[in-house]
Chain A
Amino acid sequence: MSTPDTQNKIVVENLHKSFGDNEVLQGIDLVVAPGEVVAVIGPSGSGKSTLLRCLNKLEEPTAGRVVVDGVALTDKGVRVDEIRQRIGMVFQHFNLFPHMTVLENVTLAPVELGRLSKSAARERALTLLERVGLVEKADAKPASLSGGQKQRVAIARALAMEPDVMLFDEATSALDPEMVGEVLQVIRDLAEGGMTMVLVTHEMGFAREVSHRVVFMDGGVVVEQGPPAELFGAPKHERLRDFLSKVL
């Protein structure tokens, strides 16, 4: 909190979010440094997705501050579409555009937002698809892909806007076990490439391996956070121990 906003990629201060009477986030404080990989864990319903969605304003916070790249998303009149271009998001259910080919999914945003010409967007899309190992599926429709392939296309789609933050919301939860690995590999590559990332995940092993810091949420608050070795090795809070005993 003593660090100025400009030195951190993401700063969340006293974030509250209610759905009607249900206060889902009850005062979250979180800071993510550039190049840092933060894994968010916690039981179902604890508010992990809501927190993540507040980071790119898919949810409107009820109170508190969210600052990304020095821009306060929670300020009035902020051009949220511009900030979102710098924050990639990957969803549990992929949310690929079914009426477009894989290539069109990836080129849509850069072309429509005037970032790249059609041909340049195509070039970049092919490079990204190459990176996720799906260049041969460029002209396929999403319906013909497996779950793992879909999620890799979704990651490529998010990367097409060259974001400097990536948000992953249980990116592997909807996948058959044999496909989890290929998606985690792509994320691992991104981490190694220095991408700032917030990962909501149930893959504890992966969180431990790839993240710099783990945040444990329960009941709308951050209960405990720290380096993975500490958090998994010597959990301080009863609730975290409880949780870990169930998932490990």
Chain B
Amino acid sequence: MARNAGPAGACTQRRASSTTGVRRAAALLAVLAMAALGAIGLAVPAQADAGGEHYTIGTDTTYAPFEFNDGTELHGIDIDLLEAIAKNQHFTITWKQLGFDAAVQALQADQVDAVMAGMTITDERKQTFDFSDGYFTGGIQFGVLDGSDIASLDDLRGQTVAVKTGTQGQTYAESLQAQYDLTVTPYSDTTDMVDAVKAGQAVAYAEDYPVVAYGITKGSGFRLIGEPALGGDYGFAVNKGQNPELIEKFDAGLAALKADGTYDAIVAKYVGTSAAGASGAQTPPLGHGETFTVGTDTTYAPFEFNDGTTLKGIDIDLLEAIAKNQNFHVTWKQLGFDAAVQALQANQVDGVMAGMSITPERQQTFDFSNGYFTGGIQFGVLDGSDFQTLDDLTGQTVAVKTGTQGQEYAESLREQYDLKVTPYSDTTDMVDAVKAGQAVAYAEDYPVLAYGITQGSGFRLIGKPALGSDYGFAVNKGQNPELIEMFDAGLKNLKADGTYDAIIATYVGAQDDDAAAPTATAKPSLLEMLDQYSPALLRGLWLTFLATVISLAASFVLGIVFGFGRLARFAPARWVSTAYVYIFRGTPILIQAFFVFFAVPQLLPGVKFNPFVAGAITLALNSGAYMTEIIRGGILAVDPGQTEASRSLGLGHRKTMQKVVLPQAFRIMIPSFVNQSIITLKDTSLLSTIGLAELTFASRQIIASTYQSAQILTIVAVMYFVVITLLTVLADRMEKRFTS
């Protein structure tokens, strides 16, 4: 369908060369090619076909299933969809597969007429570009092993799902936790999360579903279940004010394709199910003073929260203002998010207003208002810093969380602002990096940032939210349509008269004023933190203690078995024991833990451990290697004259060991045992990486939600110190008793 209209073969696409999709290299090539074009004065001409206009469209190199090369041809939802729209609307297109960043820049430089590249419609981008209606809603979905029996969300009931800490995937999984009785296990990165499912530690993982789909095309061995959730709309973009007719054609073509089923066919071809999100038009009706009951969340600052006496927040103030504007009344029911959604389905409330993202899955059950708030990514900087705008970040380092939209966003700004983007594996590290001055800002979902600020995180937001998804007001499908109409009309009015901006500004700072900040409460004191979080920390400490004691006991047995093995006359016993010691002393304990947790279940199907068991096994095996050497060394350290004296009396080998050598060896070993016990106790902290919820894990979870890393780390360090010191004193006492 699309033909190469340009005479300059160097820049025409539909080549098979960039299948590897090294995005950065491709972008560089594209920029060079464009520079060359510009220098010799060649523009790609918009040559009209007999039937209509011709457009050049920039797209990404490889972003399956939206655009990718199968070796010979460009494929994907974006490609097929736009080509179908072009056919429907009688225009022709030439693709330029530039890479995402380069395509966007090429658009700004008028090198292409439009961009079709899985581009999320965000408020920030809307300042530079005009977008079509959303043609696809991205979002989170669960991936399960292809060979598993799990076919729907219902099949996940009572199971464990893996998520990436701090992502929308986690948010989504946790929103389903109560409904499906899920155990949600957070991992710090994608690899661990995926491996957890492969190893049978979890049955599914939550991830941006295009990413899962991409993985599946790469033979990941997974399968998608459920429907995408928490999605942002993808749009077709032109430069602001330019080519408005192209947007019109796109929207008209999209509508036609949706009507005749072509759209569903294209999407189904790539992701198997139809997924679409489009926003409707507004019509302004009026209420008659009726009262509606609306369910909301308990605490989801800044959308809804109690300040001790009254319910506040963006959702609350906004719906109250809309009710006033449209002449109806609202009775709030603060139920918690899941309960509110269930109450709506049970008709116990008329609507839900709870920071609820508009997703295709939810759209099957609920009717949504227009989006009233777009979540998204923003930068947080230290409150005391001089940074006011994105421009101030020029040349600076920003911290991001690996694999998140925050990273995507920061990298999209990298060239423009000459940023150094440093990825961290979790929120805590990322935030701490800024506190420690390793970076000047971090990119994060801005409601989360705002929440942190209200918690006294000491940060400030700069820039504007990007890559966001829309929040909507929900009613049951087909019920209360007048409520949705009133909401949309009221929202429009509030936006027009400035009330909307005022409400938003109250909670997250004015959208157009970089300097405004959410109100920060005072930092909680160490004692308050201790009071609030000591139960969670003590639970962690208990697990630390339990893991230490169990693994030390086991490692002692291993040490005896292999320690004697190393001294045995029987050579194979020596070989096996020596190999054991060398293997477990010669590899890092973290690798051992990953091996036990992730690799063993793959190597030995049917064998799988929960994090505690895997952790205890790892520690026992690791510590056992050192115990072996301690026991061997202790036995060898006993004067051989002792053995000779005992043997010369006629006592056998066994009795000599029991009565003469071991009692003395044991005394020699005590200090080493104490030392190894302390090391093992401290090593438990490494097992937080496989999800063992010991003290370090507990502290990191708390830091992730409170941002009070200095306080929590102090408390945790003191807890470790006290426990270890107590154990040392106890061991000293024991040693004195034994040797006296």
Contacts and interface: CB of A to CB of B under 8 A. Distances in A.
B649 A97 contact: no
B660 A97 contact: yes
Interface in A48-86: 56, 58, 81-85
A161 B642 contact: no
Given A99-B663, A99-B664, A108 B649 contact: yes
B640 to A, nearest CB: 9
A161 B639 contact: no
Contacts of B660: 97
A58 B667 CA distance: 26
Interface stretch (A18-26, A87-95, A200-208, A212-220): A87-95
Contact of B650 (A98, A109, A154): A109
B664 A109 contact: no
Interface in B624-667: 639, 641-642, 644-652, 655, 659-660, 663-664, 667
Interface in B655-713: 655, 659-660, 663-664, 667
21 contacts: A56-B648, A58-B644, A58-B648, A81-B647, A81-B651, A82-B650, A84-B650, A85-B649, A85-B650, A88-B649, A89-B645, A91-B641, A91-B644, A93-B641, A95-B639, A95-B641, A97-B659, A99-B667, A112-B655, A113-B655, A158-B649
Contacts of A84: 647-650
A157 interface: yes
Contact of B645 (A85, A87, A95, A112): A95
Interface residues of B, number: 18
A10 to B, nearest CB: 15
A113 B650 contact: yes
Contacts of B642: 95, 97
Interface residues of A, number: 25
A113 B651 contact: yes
Given A98-B664, A99-B663, A109 B644 contact: no
Interface of B: 639, 641-642, 644-652, 655, 659-660, 663-664, 667
Given A95-B642, A95-B644, A95-B645, A161 B664 contact: no
Given A95-B639, A95-B642, A97-B642, A87 B663 contact: no
The 3 A-B residue pairs with the shortest CB-CB distance, nearest first, are: A85-B650, A95-B645, A109-B649
B347 to A, nearest CB: 81
A82 B649 CA distance: 9
A232 B664 CA distance: 45
A113 B649 CA distance: 10
A103 B274 CA distance: 90
Contacts of B664: 97-99
B649 A161 contact: yes
A88 B649 CA distance: 7
Nearest to A113: B650
A213 to B, nearest CB: 23
A89 B652 contact: no
A197 to B, nearest CB: 15
Contacts of B651: 81, 108-109, 112-113
Contacts of A87: 648
Contacts of A56: 648
Nearest to A111: B659
B665 to A, nearest CB: 10
A77 to B, nearest CB: 15
A97 B662 CA distance: 12
Nearest to A104: B659
Contacts of B641: 91, 93, 95
B300 to A, nearest CB: 67
A91 B652 contact: no
Interface in A97-129: 97-99, 108-109, 112-113
A73 to B, nearest CB: 13
Nearest to A58: B644
Nearest to A109: B649
Nearest to B645: A95
B441 to A, nearest CB: 65
A84, A87, A95, A154 — most chain B CB neighbours (10 Å): A95
Interface centre among B645, B648, B659 (most CB of A within 10 A): B648
Given A81-B651, A81-B652, A161-B649, A108 B644 contact: no
Given A56-B648, A109-B650, A112-B651, 13 more contacts: A58-B644, A81-B651, A81-B652, A84-B647, A84-B650, A87-B648, A91-B641, A91-B644, A95-B645, A108-B651, A113-B651, A157-B649, A161-B649
Given A95-B642, A112-B655, A89 B648 contact: yes
A169 B659 CA distance: 24
Contacts of A85: 649-650
Contacts of A154: 645
A30 B648 CA distance: 21
Interface in A119-162: 154, 157-158, 161
Contacts of A82: 650
Nearest to B660: A97
B440 to A, nearest CB: 64
A2 to B, nearest CB: 31
Interface string A157-171: 110010000000000
A108 B650 contact: no
A161 B645 contact: no
A98 B646 CA distance: 12
Interface string A19-47: 00000000000000000000000000000
A67 to B, nearest CB: 18
Which of B649, B651, B664 is packed against the most chain A CB atoms within 10 Å?
A: B649
Nearest to A167: B648
A108 to B, nearest CB: 6
